[in-house]
Structure 1
Amino acid sequence: MVHRSLEVQYVTLHGHRRAFVKTGSGPVLLLLHGLACDHTTWDPVIHDLARRYTVIAPDLLGHGLSDKPRADYSLGGYANGMRDLLTVLGIDRVTVVGHSFGGGVAMQFAYQFPDRTERLILVAPGGLGPEVSPAIRAITTPGFTPLMRLLTLPGVRQVGTAGLRALAGTGLNATRDLDEVAAIVDSWRDRRALAATRHVTRAVVDLRGQIVTMTDRAYLTEAVPMCVIWGEDDAVIPARHARTAEALAPGCRVEVVPNAGHFPHKDHPQRFVKIVQTFLRTTQPAVYDRDRLRSLLEHGGDVPVQQAEAGHAPVSPLRTLSGA
Structure 2
Amino acid sequence: MGADLHYVRVHGYRRAYRMAGSGPPLLLIHGIADSSVTWEPVFDELAEHYTVIAPDLLGHGESAKPRADYAVAAYACGMRDLLTVLGIDRVTLVGHSLGGGVALQFAYQFPDRCERLILVASAGMGRGVHPVFRAATMPGADPAISVLTSPPVRAAVHLLAPVLRRLGGMGLGEDLDYVLRLYGKLANPTARRAFLRTIRAAADPYGQAITMLDRGYLAASMPAMIMWGTEDAIIPYRHAETAHALFPGSQLEVFEGAGHFPHHADPDRFTKIVQAFLLDTEPAEYDREHWQALLRAGRLHAPEESSGS
Q: Counterpart of 1:213 in structure 2: which amino acid?
A: T
- What is the rounded CA distance, in whole Å, between the counterparts of 2:286 and 2:162 in structure 1? 46
> Structure 1 residues 278 and 299 mapped into 2: Cα distance closer, same or farther (>3 Å)?
same
With normalisation by structure 1, the TM-score equals 0.88
**Counterpart of 1:91?**
88
Question: 1:158-307 to 2 correspondence within 5 Å?
Answer: 158-161=155-158, 163-164=160-161, 167-168=164-165, 174-300=172-298
> Structure 1 residues 180 and 281 mapped into 2: Cα distance closer, same or farther (>3 Å)?
same
Q: Counterpart of 2:248 in structure 1: which amino acid?
A: P
Question: 1:52-63 to 2 correspondence within 5 Å?
Answer: 52-63=49-60
**Counterpart of 1:322?**
none
The partner residue of 1:45 within 32, 38, 42 is 42
1:136 aligns with 2:133: yes
Task: Measure how far apart 1:50 and its partner are.
Answer: 0.6
Task: Measure how far apart 1:290 and its partner are.
Answer: 0.7
> Structure 1 residues 103 and 295 mapped into 2: Cα distance closer, same or farther (>3 Å)?
same
Which consecutive residues of structure 2, in runs of 5 or more, have no partner in the other structure? 304-309
Task: Measure how far apart 1:75 and its partner are.
Answer: 0.6
> Structure 1 residues 159 and 49 mapped into 2: Cα distance closer, same or farther (>3 Å)?
same
Task: Measure how far apart 1:170 and its partner are.
Answer: 8.1
- What is the rounded CA distance, in whole Å, between the counterparts of 2:134 and 2:117 in structure 1? 27
Task: Measure how far apart 1:256 and its partner are.
Answer: 1.1
Q: Counterpart of 2:17 in structure 1: which amino acid?
A: F
1:32 aligns with 2:29: yes
Q: Counterpart of 1:12 in structure 2: which amino acid?
A: R
Task: Measure how far apart 1:171 and its partner are.
Answer: 7.8
Please give the secondary structure, in 2, of the residue aligned with 1:60.
coil
Q: What percentage of residue pairs aligned between the two structures are identical?
A: 53
Cα RMSD of the aligned pairs, angstroms, is 1.9
**Counterpart of 2:69?**
72
> Structure 1 residues 278 and 170 mapped into 2: Cα distance closer, same or farther (>3 Å)?
farther
> Structure 1 residues 13 and 78 mapped into 2: Cα distance closer, same or farther (>3 Å)?
same
C-alpha contact (below 8 Å) 2:219/2:247 kept by paired residues: no
C-alpha contact (below 8 Å) 2:214/2:299 kept by paired residues: no
Task: Measure how far apart 1:142 and its partner are.
Answer: 1.7
C-alpha contact (below 8 Å) 2:173/2:259 kept by paired residues: no
Q: Counterpart of 1:115 in structure 2: which amino acid?
A: D
- What is the rounded CA distance, in whole Å, between the counterparts of 2:26 and 2:177 in structure 1? 26
Task: Measure how far apart 1:275 and its partner are.
Answer: 1.0
Q: Counterpart of 1:240 in structure 2: which amino acid?
A: R
Task: Measure how far apart 1:163 and its partner are.
Answer: 3.4
Deviates more, 1:268-277 or 1:216-225: 216-225
Task: Measure how far apart 1:165 and its partner are.
Answer: 6.8
- Number of equivalenced pairs: 302
Please give the secondary structure, in 2, of the residue aligned with 1:36.
coil
- What is the rounded CA distance, in whole Å, between the counterparts of 2:151 and 2:247 in structure 1? 48
Deviates more, 1:98-107 or 1:137-146: 137-146
Task: Measure how far apart 1:141 and its partner are.
Answer: 1.6
Q: Counterpart of 2:72 in structure 1: which amino acid?
A: L
- What is the rounded CA distance, in whole Å, between the counterparts of 1:202 and 1:171 in structure 2? 28
Which string of whole-angstrom CA distances, capped at 9 and with x for unpartnered residues, describes residues 264-319 of structure 1?
Answer: 000111111111111111000001101111111111157xxxxxxxxxxxxx999x
C-alpha contact (below 8 Å) 1:93/1:115 kept by paired residues: yes
Q: Counterpart of 1:57 in structure 2: which amino acid?
A: A
Please give the secondary structure, in 1, of the residue aligned with 2:215.
helix
1:121 aligns with 2:122: no
- What is the rounded CA distance, in whole Å, between the counterparts of 1:25 and 1:167 in structure 2? 43
- What is the rounded CA distance, in whole Å, between the counterparts of 2:159 and 2:145 in structure 1? 16
- What is the rounded CA distance, in whole Å, between the counterparts of 2:123 and 2:299 in structure 1? 23
